[in-house]
Every structure is written in structure tokens, then in C-alpha cells.
Structure 1
């Protein structure tokens, strides 16, 4: 059991690091393909990083997912540039670091909820939604902490909007994709 969780944690770490550098996209609906003779690809404006966190939680469970995110944070803080804007201990002063901290409880919450019920799209989407909510909650609390400690200027409301308001629609679309992928993979891997 421990070996399996360690393997899932390794997969989660690899997915999270990889997801940092891949932009989430979607294709045009099939009914538009005939009209334009091409398939259009549209950027969602977010990376696949959060999707990777939630996917590994839905597949590997709370322990493996949490361990993978702790490893991700440690890897990024010891100077490996695995975070979106680099890495290193100085990254703690970045407003986005709170969202990275939120990966740990998000992985646990999503992984816990994903295995409470029989895998269905609705339950997996709900698990992912709760994980996403915890990422944003921790991120917003961290921005508030930086503001109170005078580490953040007067543009803190703008920063909150940039990191917690604007990306939510794209992240919700990503959650839908993660729920479908997790459901499909759990049918293949676990049954």
C-alpha cells in the first residue's frame, strides 16, 4: 500500500511540474468544424497545474496527492524553477505563493472526497470544486497576510482579482475536464 501511494505521489509530482508549463486549451465545437474547414484551438488563459493537482487527488487519493504537493513545494523552494515564475525561497514573498500553499489542503480535500462515494462524474466534479475552493481560500488569505505585513502595496485588490476572480471560469472548465478524465481513468484502472 505504501509503495502504491509513493508511486501515485511521484506521478502527481511529475504531473504538477509538467502542468505548470502547459497552457490549458479547448477546441471549437464540432458543429463549427464544417463551417470553417479547420479546428480552432482556444486558450483558457490558465495552466494545467491546478488540473494536475486535482487529477492526482481523484486518482491517487488524499495521502499520495498531499505528499506530491508537499514535494512540489519543497522542490520549488530549493531553487528548482518549477513554479510559474521560477523558484527559490524568495518566492515566499510572491502573492501567488499562497495559491501554491493551497495545493496541499486542496489535494487532501479533493482526494478525501473523491473516495467517499462510488466514482461518478458529479462526485468527482464536487471533489475538484472543493479542492479549487480551498486553493483560492488559502491564496486569498495569503494575500491578506502579505497586505497586513506591509509586503504588498495598495494594489492588493487588483492582485486578488487577477489570481482569484479572473481565472475561475477557465478553472471551472478545467474541473469539468478533470472530472471526466478521472472518471474514465478510474473505470479503467480500478475496475
Structure 2
């Protein structure tokens, strides 16, 4: 059973609005632009750069919920596949099939899991937001490093595709755990 009003996106712009399609389109486009901007914030490394992509994807999941987050991430991936410069470095299907492709493909299940957790009440309290972010990060590691292992082998995939990201992802989880409860505190209690 889902709790009512557990998604920040629903509290800010109710899905019961007169034009649900417009709401979905506007939020998906805005979310995909947020993800694209965060993907460009990076520390260059090889074979996988450290970016704010994972933060943005999981944050969108926690704010939008599973379905709207999945639609938003799908739009983001489609933009990149179509050649728009939304990925960290590069675009197109060839880029998606490269060493970082697994991390991009992980965006969809990671956002969905974060959104599902938020829908179950994990998007309002700092501790739960932190844990939801870590759960999403685990999906990125599993899918991304699994894919990367096909290029560099399992040991190097863990060394290059997981270990360097652990501290950064913990910091991203702390950032989300600070931002989401703060955003909730700004909303009127009766909304």
C-alpha cells in the first residue's frame, strides 16, 4: 500500500490536475534537462568519468516516483541515442554501446527503484533518502560494472568502475538526504 502524498513532484504539481498529459510532458522534459546538465558536471577518468548523472537520475526518481521517473530517463536516453549532447562525453548508439553504456542503461532501473522507494515513503526523511540513494547506486554498480567487465575484465571493472565512485556516491546520497527533506519542509503542511 502506497502512502498518499509521498512524492514531492505530486505535492508540487498534482497529478489530478486538469491536464495530466501536459504535466507529464513538462516534468519529463525538465527532468531530462536536469539529468543532461548533471551528466556534464564531471571529473574526467578512464574508462568511466565521475559525473553527477547518478545523483540526478536517483533524485528524479525520488521526486517523481517510478513511472514518471522511468519516462523521464527514457526521454533522456532517447535524446542521447538521437545524437543530442546529453551524455557526459559523446552521443549516439555507438557511445551507448561503449564502456560506459552499462551505467547509462542502469539509469532506467535505478530511477525506477528510487521512485518506488519514494512512493513507499522513502523520499521525505533524510535517513531513508540516503538509503534509497545507496540502493540506486548499487544498481549502477551492478549493471555498469557488469557491462564494463566485458571490455576490461571483472577485476579491472570493479577497480575502475566501482571503487573510485564509492565515496562520491556516499556524498551524493548525503546531498540528496539534505535537499529532499529541506524541500519538503518548505511546503505547506495541508497541501
Band the TM-score falls in, shorter-chain normalisation: 0.7 to 0.9
1:71-82 alignment runs, 5 A limit: 71-82=75-86
Quickly say closer, same or farther: Cα 1:112–1:16, change in 2 above 3 A.
same
Query: Aligned partners of 2:25 and 2:185: how far apart in 1?
Result: 21
Q: Deviations over 1:50-91 (max 9, x none)?
A: 111111111111112111111111111111121112101111
Alignment of 1:99 with 2:103, yes or no, is yes
Quickly say closer, same or farther: Cα 1:109–1:186, change in 2 above 3 A.
same
2:186 is matched with 188
TM-score, normalised via structure 2 length: 0.77
Alignment of 1:19 with 2:38, yes or no, is yes
2:23 is matched with 4
RMSD of the TM alignment (CA)?
2.1
**Secondary structure of residue in 2 paired with 1:115:** helix
Contact 1:8/1:65 (<8 A) preserved? no
Contact 2:145/2:162 (<8 A) preserved? yes
Query: Aligned partners of 1:92 and 1:6: how far apart in 2?
Result: 24
1:23 to partner: Cα distance = 4.0
The structure that has the greater radius of gyration is 1
What is the count of residue pairs matched by the alignment? 164
Quickly say closer, same or farther: Cα 1:87–1:156, change in 2 above 3 A.
farther
1:168 to partner: Cα distance = 1.4
Contact 2:39/2:86 (<8 A) preserved? yes
Q: Which runs of 4+ in 1 moved over 4 A?
A: none
**Secondary structure of residue in 1 paired with 2:65:** helix
Unaligned runs of 5+ in 1: 25-44
1:184 to partner: Cα distance = 1.4
TM-score, normalised via structure 1 length: 0.77
Query: Aligned partners of 1:5 and 1:185: how far apart in 2?
Result: 21
1:186 to partner: Cα distance = 2.7
Quickly say closer, same or farther: Cα 1:190–1:110, change in 2 above 3 A.
farther
2:64 is matched with 60
Quickly say closer, same or farther: Cα 1:190–1:137, change in 2 above 3 A.
farther
Q: Write 1 or 2 for the structure with the bigger share of strand.
A: 1
Quickly say closer, same or farther: Cα 1:53–1:189, change in 2 above 3 A.
farther
